[in-house]
Amino acid sequence: MIKVGIVGGTGYTGVELLRLLVQHPHVELVAITSRKEVGMPVSDMFPNLRGRVGLKFVDPGEAPLKQCDVVFFATPNGIAMQQAPELLGAGVRVIDLAADFRIKDVAVWEKWYGMPHACPDLVPEAVYGLVEVNREQIGQARLVANPGCYPTAVQLGFLPLVEAGLVDVGHLVADAKSGVSGAGRKAEVHALLAEAGDNFKAYAVAGHRHLPEISQGLSAWAGRKVGLTFVPHLTPLIRGIHATLYGRLTREADLQALFEERYAGEYFVDVLPAGAHPETRSVRGANFCRIAVHRPQGGDTVVVLAVIDNLVKGASGQAVQNMNIMFGLPETAGLEHVPLLP
């Protein structure tokens, strides 16, 4: 059994980690921390865990994290980078669900996240945990930077096209829509049901923190700096991201075959038949990314539709997938849930 600790368990990625890990056949939950809720049974905050998770929140300073095999950080940005060095030094592996180790260019990171990086020397070592690209390095990693939710959907959607050099990477468009759980379990007016319900809007068009993360990945595969317009939207659903991706084809290709071949060995990436439209509920609660590729009217614009559950493949599920690889477990262990529909 792998001994697992979770730092910061009061948010949605925290409760989702707990949901997945408590059902994982090879995991022993050792500790979950919260500075604010010390002593409160986890299942008091999250009643879905009643009878399943007996742990109480413990103070980060007192949690036996160094006795864990792996520690997940389900914290706001800027926390993992403060604690990771000490844990790594103690031989504990670290998976950060926040953004601290996702951007290789520390100056870029500091600009977008508005703080100095606490351990820039660890950044080069951190492996970006997009399994479908970095599976091998993840297997060797001590420190994994779990991808962001939008970046997971957008990168998996663009990946085959960019790798194959089929699109004008100078002018990519990612129009992405997210459910409100992506905003986290924070008391903010704009995320109230009375505000975000029965409503739809774009936000952060001028610049969203996931833009440099996505650009970094796409640029690496393209071999040159890509030009990406990324527009996120808030949609009145709880879980789910739908990315609609647009690119201009630079040469002919069998797009359906391209996607099917690229993801042939990937259990968690499901390429739908030609003409299909994936829906977010088809992955609700599960670690899948479902993708369809279209070429409307036979023109030179390719449209990719990619859906994930932002809390699973876009966060906690992918984190568990990374853990499985890091510890030599079957990649699907603890992740074989059938999506909940309706």
What is the nearest approach in angstroms of a copy of itself to the Cβ of residue 49? Answer: 7
Nearer to a copy of itself, 52 or 66 (CB): 52
Q: Which residues pair with 93 in a beta bridge?
A: 70
With contact defined as beta carbons under 8 Å apart, do 291 and 272 qualify? Answer: yes
∠ CA 191-194-199 to the nearest 5 degrees? Answer: 75
Sign of CA dihedral 90, 64, 96, 243: positive
Nearer to a copy of itself, 127 or 153 (CB): 153
**Closest by CA position to 55, among listed 44, 69, 41:** 41
Q: Tokens for 29?
A: 């939950």
Q: Tokens for 109?
A: 């990171």
Nearer to a copy of itself, 171 or 224 (CB): 171
Options 68, 119, 149, 289, the catalytic residue:
149
**Closest by CA position to 290, among listed 311, 304, 300:** 304
Measured between alpha carbons, how far is residue 237 from residues 20, 174, 234, 281, 310 in Å?
21, 20, 9, 10, 11
Cβ contacts of 175 within 8 Å, gap of 6 or more: 231, 233, 243, 244, 245, 246
Nearer to a copy of itself, 162 or 269 (CB): 269
Q: Which residues pair with 3 in a beta bridge?
A: 28
State the residue for tokens 């568990």: 320
Query: Kind of pairing, strands 301-308 and 241-248?
Result: antiparallel
Nearer to a copy of itself, 231 or 253 (CB): 231
**Closest by CA position to 293, among listed 158, 119, 106:** 158
What is the nearest approach in angstroms of a copy of itself to the Cβ of residue 100? Answer: 23
Nearer to a copy of itself, 129 or 182 (CB): 182
Question: Whole-angstrom Cα distance, residue 320 to residue 150?
Answer: 18
* DSSP three-state, residue 223: coil
What is the nearest approach in angstroms of a copy of itself to the Cβ of residue 106? Answer: 20
Helix H or strand E segment including 62: none
Q: Verify whether residue 149 is a known catalytic residue.
A: yes
With contact defined as beta carbons under 8 Å apart, do 77 and 46 qualify? Answer: no
Q: Which residues are catalytic?
A: 149
